[in-house]
Amino acid sequence: MVKGSDNFAGATRISNRVEYGDHYTRVDRKKVLKSNVEYMTPEGYLYKTDGHGRITHVEGDLSLGAAKRNNYAQRNVEGKNPGDDGGHLIASIFKGSGDIDNLVPMNANLNRYGEYRALERRWEQALKAVPPKDVKVKIQPVYRGDSHRPTEFQVEYKIGNNEWILDRLPNP
């Protein structure tokens, strides 16, 4: 665990802001994310994509709730290896989208039982505390080459008035 700052090192600044819903396009009739855009979900999460249409950054203030899952999108996320899930960057328990605009290939153990899931539980406990604590997150999937499967996740978060913490989670 590394204490972080308000910015990820090397985070890309993208100025092509599009309305939510306009961040999709079609390639051979398949819905994909547009390249080099940023979009804000109705729940207030800000996402950025790179030149390959991959999610490179998401940030926001978490809130508890439920979001609709898209099992088709989870099963068919681009770049998924055997043993991977279509992992939500922002979990559905925090109103994270169930569509491709919030899904990346994630090792199933990391997603279901490992460090990523442990962070989600920690955030959930903070939001359920009495009184509830604010939870802010910045998540950066890290890619190699033009692969759509992240090699790791740089997860920066802040609970209440505590300092930012940066965790680097390998995606084996």
37/14 Cα distance (integer angstroms): 6
Neighbours of 36 (CB within 10 A): 15
13/60 Cα distance (integer angstroms): 16
- Residue 168: its pLDDT value, please? 99
Of 23, 57, 88, 148, which is the active-site residue?
Answer: 88
4/130 Cα distance (integer angstroms): 26
Q: What is the SS3 assignment for 8? A: coil
For the chain, the structural domain boundaries read 2-170
- pTM for this structure? 0.90
- Residue 2: its pLDDT value, please? 40
Kindly provide the b/e burial profile for residues 66-101, where b requires at least 16 CB atoms within 10 angstroms of the residue's own CB. ebeebeebbeebbebeeebbbbbbbbbbbbbbbbbb
* Token pair for 73: 């999108």
Tell me which of 3.30.470.20, 3.40.570.10, 3.30.565.10, 3.40.50.10170 is the CATH number of domain 2-170: 3.40.570.10
Whether 88 is catalytic is: yes
- Residue 33: its pLDDT value, please? 98
Rg of the Cα atoms in the chain = 15
Give pLDDT tens digits for 85-129.
999 999 999 999 999 999 999 999 999 999 999 999 999 999 999
Give pLDDT tens digits for 150-168.
999 999 999 999 999 999 9
